[in-house]
Chain A
């Protein structure tokens, strides 16, 4: 079902031909008011975290510690051990096919780094961004342990997290943009 590359190129070509002149060729110059900053990444509250681990901060944690964080911070919305609650089921143990597919972190999420990134910037929803990096690593480890991809004492940090291969890593087909080699 992915768009063949030739069709993609054809669509791009059509879009280019349909562009108004100002956007297609004639660039719209601005007054150059942007303030030039030195290296900004260090100052960001949430640097982007890529699947290869770029952007991950110092710190570490394991599932044993993570369970304590989870039970204190997460169960109200996500239920015990990632099941139940109104905030979206985190752990499924269910199938992705059949009449009632049940996607969740363990069987659907393609990258472990996403779990760290989203937890750090968005959770808990009543006070996002308040967990320490160690707590985020730990709760990430707990969910990865519940997902069956790490042991409960495995140390999760900037080195080990991107090496974890999620079960559904290859389960996605890019539709509107060609997949670049990784």
Chain B
């Protein structure tokens, strides 16, 4: 967005009806504003001569086997933050501030790998189910593709997403690079319960120990009740087979629970009485609290939302804008999202774009007239279980700042009178 000269700003904002919300938030503002804009355009002097459009007069590019985004959208990429000594151990962030709707393109789904992306031939991959079962079973991918499939949308969010929020100073970067260790896809796979039934789970089993086929053989424990509830052995993402960085040829989908449980390159499920106490459920993915105790097995990702458009780094011009964002909760559906432009003094309910699905990104939008005043933009989500996204001060009062994981506080963007947007704690 380019900055405009601050001249001839109308003193009466276009499209705000008398008596409208003084904050400028008005769900009908676009309808009214649109009419005003039409009138202004037809009243002005526009030249009828268009610049030359060469693509009208030359044949276009040939067909392609696999389409790619426009060359002009090449800046819309994952932002990579690797461990320099071990490039496969790190994170790449979804550019949430560049995207719309609720589906994350597969190539932009965030990554958190512990030692790189294995390139696994599907015909050499097996899933082993064993331990406290009536029988140990081994499945090929070809086997699994013959099972009844189910499809659902679900977000996956790393337990460490948004962790910069614990910092003393607000990190100045774009929305996706603060909160984009969360992505949302359509997943298709075999219900895990079908496979567990075939193996015959012993009555004393309470946990699953999951193991991936990557170069740390990532292992982690999952309670049996979740496994039989809604988990999927995912084979497809957004209609095509999984991308390698999302677990090809097989990953687990654990809807709404922290990302590390959604084990990629899944090769083994062991039924057990108790958790295995792996590194990634003891030393990591636990949250140290101010009293020295740590929260462990914090599985459910809390209710969260943020405004993705505009995002820090943007410069706004005065007039009508649409505030757009994403909300999600591991506890179920999003019930409502409220937006404040005055740092939380007053709130206005945003419109939720349907469909609103459980454990899924939900898109919210709200028109806003910006009249040039300093503003602090916030969104606050409430889920169907009644959980309300907390203010940062409340979250830190409860949890301290050393927990690292499960940061879900309200996000604030400050807009100064020049229209520049920045990340603030407010």
Interface residues of A (CB under 8 A from B): 1, 11-12, 14-15, 18-19, 22-23, 27-41, 44-46, 48-51, 76-77, 86-87, 95-97, 101, 103, 105, 108-111, 113-114, 117-118, 121-122, 125-126, 128-129, 171-177, 180, 182
* Shortest distance from the beta carbon of A167 to any chain B beta carbon, whole Å: 11
CA distance A14 to B283 in the complex (A): 31
CB-contact partner of B293 in A28, A109, A128, A173, under 8 A: A173
* Shortest distance from the beta carbon of B393 to any chain A beta carbon, whole Å: 17
Contact A40 B128 (CB under 8 A): yes
List of 5 A-B pairs having minimum Cβ-Cβ separation, nearest first = A34-B137, A122-B216, A118-B279, A33-B143, A172-B296
20 CB contacts below 8 A, A to B, read A1-B289, A15-B229, A18-B358, A23-B229, A27-B193, A29-B148, A33-B146, A34-B198, A35-B137, A35-B139, A37-B128, A48-B209, A48-B272, A111-B277, A122-B217, A126-B86, A174-B297, A175-B297, A180-B206, A182-B274
CA distance A126 to B85 in the complex (A): 10
Given contacts A27-B197, A33-B146, A122-B216, contact A117 B279 (CB under 8 A): yes
Interface flags, B283-317, vs A, CB<8A=1, else 0: 10010111111111111100000000000000000
CA distance A92 to B404 in the complex (A): 17
Number of interface residues of B (CB under 8 A): 69
B276 an interface residue at 8 Å Cβ cutoff? yes
CB-contact partner of B398 in A1, A22, A177, under 8 A: A1
Interface residues of B (CB under 8 A from A): 83-86, 89, 114-115, 128-130, 135-139, 143, 146-148, 150, 190-191, 193-195, 197-199, 206, 209, 211, 215-217, 219, 223, 225, 229-230, 268, 270, 272-274, 276-279, 282-283, 286, 288-300, 332, 358, 385, 398, 402
In the bound complex, residues from chain A placing their C-beta under 8 Å from that of B150 are 22, 28
CB < 8 Å A-B pair total: 182
* Shortest distance from the beta carbon of B239 to any chain A beta carbon, whole Å: 21
CA distance A122 to B137 in the complex (A): 26
In the bound complex, residues from chain B placing their C-beta under 8 Å from that of A111 are 277, 282
CA distance A180 to B298 in the complex (A): 16
